[in-house]
């Protein structure tokens, strides 16, 4: 997606197997006081970022403040910004989203969301001769949760679009362990999960422009290129991920710590030097009853 590895965190935000912002959003919605709407102020921190289709091992950190409004009907609106000490400009992305969560049954919940990405990145990376590319500026997101005892089954779908389009499916299984009124805390929730990210992406591969040795000789003599770029959009597994979040609620505060470990996978024909890696995110949420 990005021409320069310095912007790989943007890949992570769009492609992560389990975005920490979604984890926080779902936990916030589940912790709403019944019958009341709320305003939430949030401050998040990220350590090293691992993109879903390409891992970049850069020692850096990011901060993500946000504000959200949750209506008692299940509708919500969220505005988040992303800042990193490794980027120029450091405030590189703002995401505005609106959504709705419905609970058809006691064990089944559905979350639908539309998000728009406002990028604040240069057209080119100074001194490198490369250009940045922002193919996705919008995202339609749908998530299903089915609780069977302490086990939660999850299936997400994202449709990314803008200059290009892409699809993402995320099936996962996890635990939902909740303890209330414990050692001074109103609620502590531990909900680890494992899942995989499946989808498609634009892949450009370089292939020979000839099929025989004679063809190569003729191309050389005519001054024509021996290789050509072929653009394809293959489907495949983008990532296997393990997510381990813990949330603690105390009065009008919620603290969420999440560890994510990714096993990124190249798509068919994609030439990527991928490796495994993870990151830690921490967020603090303050709620105001309306």
Q: What is the pLDDT, as a whole number, of residue 161?
A: 92
Neighbours of 28 (CB within 10 A): 23
Global pTM? 0.82
Contacts of 220 (CB under 8 A, 6+ apart): 226
What are the structural domains, with CATH classification, of the chain?
A: 5-197+236-289 (2.40.160.40)
Q: 32 near 38, Cβ under 8 Å?
A: yes
Q: What is the pLDDT, as a whole number, of residue 47?
A: 75
Cα 268 to its chain centre, rounded Å, is: 22
Q: What is the pLDDT, as a whole number, of residue 48?
A: 54
Q: What is the pLDDT, as a whole number, of residue 122?
A: 66
Handedness of CA 40, 138, 101, 30 (dihedral sign): negative
Handedness of CA 29, 32, 35, 41 (dihedral sign): negative
Q: Collect the ranges in the chain with pLDDT lower than 50.
A: 1-9, 12, 17-18, 20, 50-58, 125-130
What percent helix, strand, coil does the chain show, rounded to 5? 10, 60, 30
Q: What is the pLDDT, as a whole number, of residue 274?
A: 63
């Amino acid at each position: 997606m990005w021409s320069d590895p310095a912007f790989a965190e943007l890949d992570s935000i769009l492609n992560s197997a389990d975005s920490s912002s979604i984890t926080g959003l779902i936990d916030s919605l589940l912790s709403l006081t019944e019958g009341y709407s709320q305003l939430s102020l949030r401050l998040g921190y990220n350590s090293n970022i691992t993109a879903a289709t390409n891992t970049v091992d850069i020692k850096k950190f990011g901060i993500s403040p946000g504000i959200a409004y949750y209506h008692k009907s299940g509708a919500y609106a969220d505005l988040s910004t992303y800042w990193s000490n490794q980027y120029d400009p450091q405030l590189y992305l703002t995401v505005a989203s609106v959504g709705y969560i419905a609970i058809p049954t006691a064990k089944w919940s559905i979350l639908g969301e539309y998000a728009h990405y406002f990028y604040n990145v240069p057209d080119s990376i100074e001194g490198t001769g490369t250009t940045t590319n922002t193919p996705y500026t919008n995202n339609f997101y749908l998530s299903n949760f089915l609780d069977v005892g302490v086990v939660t089954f999850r299936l997400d779908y994202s449709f990314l679009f803008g200059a290009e389009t892409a699809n993402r499916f995320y099936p996962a299984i996890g635990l939902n362990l909740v303890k209330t009124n414990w050692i001074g805390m109103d609620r502590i929730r531990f909900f680890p999960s494992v899942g995989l990210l499946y989808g498609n992406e634009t892949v450009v591969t370089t292939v020979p422009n000839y099929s025989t040795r004679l063809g190569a000789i003729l191309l050389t003599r005519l001054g024509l290129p021996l290789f050509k770029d072929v653009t394809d959009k293959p489907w495949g597994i983008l990532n296997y991920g393990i997510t381990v979040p813990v949330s603690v609620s105390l009065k009008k505060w919620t603290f969420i710590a999440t560890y994510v470990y990714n096993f990124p996978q190249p798509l068919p024909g994609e030439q990527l030097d991928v490796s495994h890696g993870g990151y830690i995110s921490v967020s603090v949420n303050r709620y105001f009853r309306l």
